[in-house]
Amino acid sequence: MTRLTYRFRDASLAQLALTHRSAGKPNNERLEFLGDALLGVVVAELLYEVHPNASEGELSRLRAQLVNGQALAVIARELELGDELKLGPGELKSGGFRRDSILADAFEAVVAAVYMDGGFAACRETVRNLFEQRIAAIPRSSKDAKTRLQEWLQARGLALPLYELKDSRGEDHAKTFDVSCEIVEPTPINAEGHGGSRRAAEQDAAEIVLRQLQELKL
């Protein structure tokens, strides 16, 4: 992981963090579970510092924008984690190293591996370095992505989005949900979001649709 600022003392932890369950056991599922919690704590701390007047609801929505599956996959790509993933033959053949959900899970596992290798201070510093600029750049909004998308469509007299649960997988303590968000007007868009709950996955999908609408400048 040459693009990660942290340097592992125990290389086996880094290797484990990048081993997908399709490659057999041991794999990164347990680290992913731990990393998800660690990310939540450190990002929440940063948001608390940066937005001293924000309500609990606003802070929760901002955190959801920063730690959803697509956002974490972007960071994983910046760190080039996909190039180092260990996948089973099926996932390798289907291009699993490019899939958002796999990349996001790997990033969470890497965060946990840093914690296991260097302690909480090292983990906190690593996460803060990756998120400080993102938090400074993210627009503060009192409305979540689903609400913003609904209002955007309603303001133009267009049909509301359709959300559909596509898949849920993983152990009960660390499930991942895949939800699609589809709109037919003003142009057909079908985006898939991922999250640790169905609601989080819906928010992720709505955020992607909003971003695509903004790019189209409609």
Binding residues for Mg(2+): 32, 105, 108
Residue type, 71: A
Measured CA to CA, the distance from residue 67 to residue 189 in angstroms comes to 23
Catalytic residue positions, numbered: 36, 108
Please report where in the chains the tokens 């040459």 appear, as a residue. 2
